[in-house]
């Protein structure tokens, strides 16, 4: 009976992980998931696997996730256009809301060959957004990685501004 209760609890925690939006809560749920899985391993007569699951799954991996999230404190924006970006307040407001440091760089600061390639620029400099001015449509195109979780919040904030289009690219693995 305990095994079945743990399996149902494990399924519930799994659903919570899938539907949760807050990264820190996801990490806590992941840790709880590992503790429940370790309990199941123990009840299935695998105490060595249970011990490894407790050490790795509910302690070590969540710690790595927390350290990684805490290190993300910079929002890096590269300007590839000669035209001055007039929506500087958008970037400042976003960084203030998310408690991030804004780092603005010009494309000349990135290696010339890589500045032409969005993937090369993202890979080398860890750039969050690249700003281009589209003179034909008289708007700024802000290109970003689709997988970047901060961009959802940035896109919501950018909707208040006219003359900005967010372009999301799917990450591609490159060979360094």
What is the pLDDT, as a whole number, of residue 172?
61
Q: pLDDT at residue 176 above 80?
A: no
In a domain, 153, yes or no: yes
| Residue 89: CATH number of its domain | 3.40.190
> 3-class SS at 55?
helix
pLDDT tens digits, residue range 103-149? 988 876 544 444 444 444 444 457 888 999 998 999 999 998 877 77
Residue 88, domain extent:
72-169
Number of domains in the chain: 2
Which of 70, 90, 114 is where one domain is finished? 70
Residues 17 and 98 in one domain: no
Pairing of strands 139-145, 129-134: antiparallel
Q: pLDDT at residue 12 above 90?
A: yes
End-to-end CA distance of the chain: 52
For residue 147, give the DSSP letter: T
With a pLDDT cut of 90, the percent of the chain lying above it is 43
What is the pLDDT, as a whole number, of residue 85?
84
Residues 6 and 61 in one domain: yes
Residues 158 and 81 in one domain: yes
Answer yes or no: are the C-beta atoms of 154 and 132 closer than 8 Å.
Answer: no
In a domain, 120, yes or no: yes
What is the pLDDT, as a whole number, of residue 24?
85
Q: pLDDT at residue 151 above 90?
A: no
pTM of the model: 0.56
pLDDT tens digits, residue range 48-104? 999 999 999 999 999 998 888 777 788 888 988 778 888 889 999 999 988 889 998
The C-alpha atoms of residue 123 and residue 119 are separated, in whole angstroms, by 6
Q: Which two tokens stand for residue 167?
A: 């372009």
């Amino acid at each position: 009976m305990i095994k079945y209760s743990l399996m149902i609890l494990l399924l519930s925690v799994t659903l919570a992980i899938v539907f949760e939006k807050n990264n820190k809560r996801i990490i806590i749920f992941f840790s709880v998931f590992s503790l429940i899985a370790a309990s199941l391993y123990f009840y299935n007569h695998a105490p060595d696997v249970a011990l490894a699951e407790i050490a790795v799954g509910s302690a070590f991996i969540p710690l790595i996730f927390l350290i990684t999230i805490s290190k993300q404190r910079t929002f890096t924006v590269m300007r590839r256009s000669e035209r001055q970006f007039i929506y500087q307040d958008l970037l400042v407001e976003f960084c203030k809301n998310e408690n991030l440091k804004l780092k603005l760089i010009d494309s000349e600061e990135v290696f010339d060959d890589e500045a032409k390639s969005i993937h090369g620029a993202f890979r080398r400099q860890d750039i969050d957004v690249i700003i281009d001015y589209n003179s034909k449509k008289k708007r700024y195109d802000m290109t970003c990685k689709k997988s970047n979780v901060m961009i959802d919040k940035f896109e919501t904030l950018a909707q208040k501004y006219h003359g900005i289009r967010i372009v999301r690219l799917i990450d591609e693995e490159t060979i360094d």
